[in-house]
Amino acid sequence: MAKQLNEKNSVFIFDTTLRDGEQVPGCQLNTIEKIQVAQSLESLGVDIIEAGFPISSPGDFNSVIEISKSVTWTIICALTRAIEKDIDIAAESLQYAKRKRIHTGIGTSPYHIKYKFNSTQDEILERAVASVKYAKKYVEDIEFYCEDAGRTDNVYLARIVEAVIKAGAKVVNIPDTTGYCLPEEYGAKIKFLMDNVKGIQNVILSTHCHNDLGMATANTISGIINGARQVEVTINGIGERAGNTSLEEVVMIIKSHKELNIGTNINTKHIYPISRMISSLMNMPVQPNKAIVGRNAFAHSSGIHQDGILKNRENYEIIDPKDIGIDNNIIALTARSGRAALKYRLNILGIELSQKKLDDIYEEFLKLADYKKNINDDDILMLAGKDRTESNRIRLEYLQVTSGVGILPVASICLNIAGEKFEAAASGNGPVDAAIRAVKQIIHRQMVIQEFLIQAINKGSNDVGKVHMQVKYNDVNYYGFAANTDIVAASVEAFIDAINKFVE
């Protein structure tokens, strides 16, 4: 059970990884994975989980229902537009939530009013008030968002905020939807509302900042300093376009700067495990230099820095790695490591497996450890992710490629489709092209590879390579991911991963 926060000296953490974060192309989760994330967010200590946008799809609707059943004390929030049907569906999706919130709203900037709604300020205000009053039929906890508040005139914004407070909103969200504001500008916007809106002392102002200009965290902190007491964030800062405000950055800034005299409910020791879990489930690598959770966040290569760290960690580290769940005494994984060591590392990365799945991954781990000298966290996550693909309808049975200087590349392939094996061979401009052509001979669909990205996890010719692929089929883009020490195999597996998402 979370402690009750004092609104003046604490900040409520509103996590939207499962809604705004999941809008990243290729990062969609199934319901089981969403439940896993939601339960981990509850263990982390977030106060509100925005579980989805229920009217957007049956999958989102069902996910909100199942997440509501699986979470105990955290408030479950469903997003809507200022439309009665949206609100009806959201209320239905929240029927099993122990604590529930409807998050409704509308665009308030001149851009949205004129070009998105072809409306007027007065009409938008009327729709805002009506949506809050309608949502109050279902729940008491109503949050209202003023979309594109960052580019909304402060005087008009204050009118909207005051009106929705009077209508019954408990939380008012002031999003910098386009990431346009400067920190001083965004902080001044929050302060203007705090100073000029009647009834503001009875509600919570929330920040929701995007990172288009790299200022999401700075804007969020500026909002807190000026009176906001809820922050809307995502794990690893994932989200549309350049992403959202990063949960781990805001929480650790608050923890590091005692002079702010502000607290949160977050158990920071869970930050690193959930960061890696989200990275793995969403097939979205964390950039090495990412603040707090990046691979290099606590790495020191400079001799001067290394000397300083050895003498006193605080010479060059303002955060103790253990505070975010990184164990300094990491057990090195090699071909001689046992199942217990592998299980320990998987648990640190936020992955829990049955004994059978652990045994299966362990066999793959030994093969990889024999091939590579150093096994890192990304390798372990790759193995765990590979295990999740075993239930796919289409699986790669074998791949053989012949290529070289002066030789036409030829690929022979065998696919297992729902238990039946199919073989094909093809030539191409290179080994990857030949292998992809062979797959297409078996899978007779009009599909086009739109994007093909290869990324090495570390340096070295024997390293694991990650492949991200975007495949267009029937005018819809599908995303595939794979990792393998053989880059041709990884490319084929990523292609098949995408195909599995549209083949009936």
Q: What is the pLDDT of residue 5?
A: 57
Q: Say if residue 58 is in the same domain as residue 100.
A: yes
Name the helix (H) or strand (E) containing 366: helix 355-371
Residue 175 pLDDT grade (very low, low, confident, very high; cuts 50, 70, 90): very high
Q: Are residues 24 and 103 in the same domain?
A: yes
Q: Region 133-151: what's the mean pLDDT?
A: 98
pLDDT in tens, 221-237: 999 999 999 999 999 99
Q: Which of 387, 409, 430 is the last residue of a domain?
A: 387
CB 278 within 8 A of CB 236: yes
H-helix or E-strand spanning residue 381:
helix 377-388
- Whole-number Å distance between alpha carbons of 203 and 168: 10
Residue 293: inside a domain, yes or no?
no
Same domain, 90 and 190: yes
- What is the residue type of 303? G
CB-neighbour burial class of residue 163 (10 A; exposed 0-12, middle 13-18, buried 19+): middle
The answer on pLDDT for 456 being more than 80 is no
Average pLDDT score over the chain? 88
> Rounded to an integer, what distance in angstroms lies between the CA atom of residue 468 and that of residue 484?
12
| Arithmetic mean of pLDDT, 446-460 | 75
What 3-state DSSP class applies to 420? strand
Cα dihedral value 16, 470, 500, 244, nearest 10 = -10
Q: What is the C-alpha to C-alpha distance for residues 466 and 486, in angstroms, rounded to an integer?
A: 10
Asked if pLDDT for residue 434 goes beyond 80, the answer is yes
Residue linked to tokens 């922050």: 231
Give the mean model confidence (pLDDT) for residues 403-432. Answer: 92
Which carries the bigger pLDDT value, residue 176 or residue 489? 176
Give the domain-ending residue among 368, 387, 406: 387
> Which burial class, exposed, middle or buried, applies to 389 when counting CB atoms under 10 A from its CB (0-12, 13-18, 19+)?
middle
- What is the per-residue pLDDT across 287-323, written as a single tens digit (0 to 9) for each? 888 999 987 777 644 444 445 545 655 565 678 888 8
Res 504 pLDDT > 70: no
pLDDT tens-digit map of 347-395: 777 777 889 888 988 888 888 888 776 677 767 877 776 555 566 789 8
Residues of the domain holding 324: 299-387
Contact between residue 76 and residue 67 where contact means Cβ atoms under 8 Å apart: yes
Residue 2 included in any domain: no
Q: Are residues 328 and 399 in the same domain?
A: no
Q: Where does a domain end: 358, 387, 416?
A: 387
Considering the domain architecture, whether residues 376 and 413 belong to the same structural domain is answered as no
Block residue for tokens 């290569």 = 301
Q: What is the pLDDT of residue 142?
A: 98
**Domains of the chain: total:** 3
Say if residue 114 is in the same domain as residue 245: yes
Torsions phi, psi for 298 (to 5 deg): -125, 25
Q: Tell me the CATH number at 423.
A: 3.30.160.270
pLDDT score of 450 more than 60:
yes
Q: Does residue 6 fall inside a structural domain? A: no
If residue 42 lies in a helix (H) or strand (E), which one and from where to where? Answer: helix 31-44
203-218 per-position pLDDT tens digit: 999 999 999 999 999 9
* Shared domain check, 307 and 268: no
Whether 288 maps to a domain, the answer reads no
- Please report, rounded to a whole number, the percentage of residues in the chain having pLDDT higher than 90: 61
Q: Is 259 left (phi over 0), alpha (psi -120 to 50) or beta?
A: alpha
Judgement on whether residues 226 and 316 belong to the same structural domain of the protein: no
Residue numbers in the known binding site for Mn(2+) are: 20, 208, 210, 244
Helices (H), 136-257: 154-167, 183-196, 216-225, 247-256
Give one word for 494, left, alpha or beta, with left for phi > 0 and alpha for psi -120 to 50: alpha
- pLDDT (tens digit, 9 = 90+) per residue, 344-358? 778 777 777 889 888
* 104-115 pLDDT, tens digit each: 999 999 999 999
209 and 78 part of one domain? yes
234 residue type, one letter: T
Look at residue 63 and tell me if it is in a domain: yes
Q: Does the pLDDT of residue 410 top 80, yes or no?
A: yes
Over residues 315-332, mean pLDDT: 71
- Residues at the binding site are 20, 208, 210, 244
Q: Quick one: pLDDT at residue 299?
A: 62
More reliable by pLDDT, 496 or 326: 496
Residues 6+ apart with CB under 8 A from 150: 109, 174, 175, 176, 177, 178, 179, 180, 181, 186, 189, 209
- Say if residue 417 is in the same domain as residue 495: yes
CB neighbours of 409 closer than 8 A, spacing ≥ 6?
Answer: 401, 402, 403, 427, 428, 429, 430, 431, 433, 434
pLDDT digits (tens, 9 = 90+) for 18-57: 999 988 877 788 888 899 999 999 999 999 999 999 999 9
The answer on 64 and 159 residing in a single domain is yes
Residue 356: predicted pLDDT: 87
Overall average pLDDT of the 336-344 stretch: 82
Between 140 and 451, name the one with better pLDDT: 140
DSSP code, position 263: B
The residue among 130 and 341 whose pLDDT is bigger is 130
Task: Give me the pLDDT at residue 245, please.
Answer: 98
Q: Residue 251 belongs to a domain with what CATH number? A: 3.20.20.70
- Cα R_g (the chain), whole angstroms: 25
104/61 same-domain check: yes
Q: If you average pLDDT over residues 187-207, what whole number do you get? A: 97
Confidence (pLDDT) at 217: 98
| The pLDDT value given to residue 388 | 57
Q: Tokens 């953490």 — which residue?
A: 13
**Closest to 17 (Cα-Cα) out of 42, 5, 2, 6:** 42
